[in-house]
Amino acid sequence: MNFGELSQNMGQPLRVFGNLPYNISTPLMFHLFSYTDAIADMHFMLQKEVVNRLVAGPNSKAYGRLSVMAQYYCQIIPVLEVPPTAFTPPPKVDSAVVRLVPYRTLPHPVKEVRVLSRNHHRSVQPAPENDSQ
């Protein structure tokens, strides 16, 4: 889906929300990161482990590609934790609600950001200091 086109047709930035199954949450968020110019904010209920990965810092066990890319594109705000007892039947995992607010101006602009397949490393290259782009 082209979220940029949808936002343009609606005449305003999109507000994206959902209760995302674990198996599609990461690929969907990576897809949405390419449309952050068209998105006001995103609210998701996810497995707590995924929210921990979103907010993880360098040198932590949960830190990885998802942490780097999510924090590059968005401010990550954990909203609340949802225990298994909130559901019937209760799942075997904890859940959490998170808000992702895309940066209008990237805090650390880079010249090129590429997220490749799982078998390749990400490439983040700092922008030259005299680059006027």
| Residue 84 DSSP label | G
Dist. CA 98–CA 66, nearest whole Å: 14
Both tokens of residue 132?
């006027």
Does the 3-105 domain belong in CATH 3.40.50.150? Answer: yes
Can you give the residue ranges of every domain in the chain?
Answer: 3-105
Whether pLDDT at 76 is above 50:
yes
30-56 pLDDT, tens digit each? 999 989 999 999 999 999 999 999 999
pLDDT class of 7 with cuts at 50, 70, 90? low
Is residue 119 scored above 80 in pLDDT?
no
Phi, psi dihedral angles at 35 (to 5 degrees): -120, 20
Helices marked H in the chain — which ranges? 3-10, 22-33, 48-55, 65-73
1 assigned binding-site residue: yes
pLDDT at 126: 52
**Residue 45 annotated as lining a ligand binding site:** no
Cα distance between residue 16 and residue 21, in whole Å? 15
